[in-house]
Structure 1
């Protein structure tokens, strides 16, 4: 005969199954995003030696943490001037964050560092941050590409390593955004970081590593026209960029159209050989992605391509999330406004545990303000199916 304790145990097991979180999978056609929570990570002028926080980056780690970075501009909001690299870390999917750590201090250089791309090597569990120094060559030269690495989930960082010995001395700023590790052939496992040059010598340039960041070499180039000459309005001048990888191994790079060549919209280029080349024949202008010339965010997650930018053809306002079911060939008409007011640079990431819980969310970090877009850096957790 069944005892009372056994009946109670059986009832508890049944209730646990009924009340447990759903482990079902979601279909992309069910996407209906909802802002799940938002919090300010940095407020300009609020931390002693920092005048302005700008250029936000965010990434997952192999251990399931989130790392957020930005420039702490010491004296003013200008691109030139001395800076910190500021970082905060979350181990609970963005609910709480560590205090700010300043992991790089460029001293009092008149032309300091510029962020930058963060890339996660999932094969070895490292996080690599790539940035430049003396990019503008304002009372400072030569320009150099620098790298930091963390092997303990962002808790500590290596001393800066100058990659110019390997790459040559050139003016190059990665991103801003994230680099990728190729998950598919060709060149599975390769680290790919793409960025831009000076306004005269601008374009999309990629650097590559096939040995987990120990050695780097120059890859694809898409140069501005006329290259190494001062530009005029409507000249072809690709600039800040964000690469993503499709499931067939193609790298798609979404690019800032600095001089509004052809349209007030984004430039899109593709690499089919792991970042070695960017065939001009496959370049196109995405007129659906109206843009005021700014760094934008892109993310490929579970077969869906997500994109964030200030959706305006003239002003840095109206930060908007869009998504595509066909790798960016067209965009779902529905869109989600993240912030109607002043907003500028943004970056996206997601956690990659494969769990149903992590399938639901993406994370956005962006510049946000009420009068000016550089007043704060804000973090948003978005439930992709929360509006249903």
Structure 2
């Protein structure tokens, strides 16, 4: 029995290695999920999120900005849902409405609890404190695969009133020790006291507390160009149980590239000894996508040091220590924030595809939000 298990493990590793060596991604389908500038209740759609539920449905979220393209202002949270891996989509529904707040909601991170099936969405209100205070960290939850959503719940009684903008992107549930089952959502703080912070839940989102932090320098003071200001971020868990957080380098400290932080204790801390600057990942200071799938680390961003153009997919076979020189140009024109997901299933197509949602335009990157399906092994 022991020898059989060993052979199965060895074959799994070898198959994974062979598959990784033959990665040759290609876009096989694209759909515009949202287009701004139209008549109706929404002026601009921004900040796309994407996740699979535990039942295999695909959920796409976005900020639906009511009056303008600006970060400040009243918004909805828009949702579209697919039950056929992105081939067809439901009409847009608005699952949160902040009314007419001068400093409305900021989206946010979505995290799926695979043990309970709950889909949890964390967002902020009044993050910029423009004509309102205090800032609030908010949560809504779906227990029926994204069909219906709970009333918003304010997490300030648990977390305090420190400004916290989750993501944007997805949170994770730990699959490897330490802290198996823990929900981890990471984001950044307010403009003056910025930095990366993570909130943790060990009871399926019933309660939350602050964990890891990587504070800006000078902390709680206005920032200048080239100051250390870790900002919007995307965590992923590696198979050794560590959490790697790909971070926006907001003031271009040290380089026009990405910061990468790492937690070894389940999101409790982000030691500065683990912080690196990844010069391969040139970046114009933007929210980027990261995803770990079958031992491969994927990354999307506008691959340009100054402008939000040229949305590119990269992949690493060694957990981000280096990146394969080949890349996939998803869109060469104006492009902004992005988010990725994949389905952890037993079907062949579940191993073969990843899915990307991103801001796309002809003149400006925030004109529309596009969804693409990517075949990782297109020549096989």
> Alignment partner for residue 354 of structure 2, among 362, 365, 378?
362
Q: TM-score, normalised on structure 2?
A: 0.95
Tell me, in whole angstroms, the C-alpha distance in 2 between the residues paired with 1:352 and 1:326: 20
Tell me, in whole angstroms, the C-alpha distance in 1 between the residues paired with 2:232 and 2:371: 21
After superposition, the C-alpha distances for 1:80-114 in whole angstroms (9 at most, x for unaligned) are 00000000000000000000000000000100000
Q: How far 1:284 sits from its partner (Å)? A: 0.6
Tell me, in whole angstroms, the C-alpha distance in 1 between the residues paired with 2:39 and 2:371: 18
Which consecutive residues of structure 1, in runs of 5 or more, have no partner in the other structure? 1-23
Tell me, in whole angstroms, the C-alpha distance in 2 between the residues paired with 1:240 and 1:48: 30
Specify the alignment match of 1:4 in structure 2: none
Specify the alignment match of 1:45 in structure 2: 37
After superposition, the C-alpha distances for 1:212-232 in whole angstroms (9 at most, x for unaligned) are 000000000000000001111
- Matching of residues 87-102 of structure 1 within 5 Å: 87-102=79-94
Judge conservation of contact 2:128–2:191 (CA < 8 Å) in 1: no
Q: How far 1:141 sits from its partner (Å)? A: 1.1
RMSD: 0.9
Judge conservation of contact 1:182–1:249 (CA < 8 Å) in 2: yes
Which consecutive residues of structure 2, in runs of 5 or more, have no partner in the other structure? 1-14
Q: Please tell me whether residue 129 in structure 1 is matched to residue 121 in structure 2.
A: yes
Judge conservation of contact 1:310–1:318 (CA < 8 Å) in 2: yes
Q: Which is greater in Rg?
A: 1
Tell me, in whole angstroms, the C-alpha distance in 1 between the residues paired with 2:206 and 2:346: 29
Q: Please tell me whether residue 332 in structure 1 is matched to residue 324 in structure 2.
A: yes
Tell me, in whole angstroms, the C-alpha distance in 1 between the residues paired with 2:274 and 2:209: 24
Specify the alignment match of 2:72 in structure 1: 80
Specify the alignment match of 2:291 in structure 1: 299
> Alignment partner for residue 306 of structure 2, among 311, 314, 335?
314
Judge conservation of contact 2:290–2:298 (CA < 8 Å) in 1: yes
Tell me, in whole angstroms, the C-alpha distance in 1 between the residues paired with 2:146 and 2:322: 37
Q: How far 1:362 sits from its partner (Å)? A: 0.2
Tell me, in whole angstroms, the C-alpha distance in 1 between the residues paired with 2:20 and 2:114: 25
Judge conservation of contact 1:134–1:141 (CA < 8 Å) in 2: yes
Residue range with higher mean Cα deviation, 40-49 or 326-335: 40-49
Q: Structure 1 248/47 Cα, relative in aligned 2: closer, same or farther at 3 Å?
A: farther
What is the aligned residue count?
365
> Alignment partner for residue 101 of structure 2, among 109, 131, 136?
109
Q: Please tell me whether residue 63 in structure 1 is matched to residue 55 in structure 2.
A: yes
Q: Please tell me whether residue 234 in structure 1 is matched to residue 237 in structure 2.
A: no
What SS does the aligned partner of 2:157 have?
helix
Q: How far 1:47 sits from its partner (Å)? A: 5.1
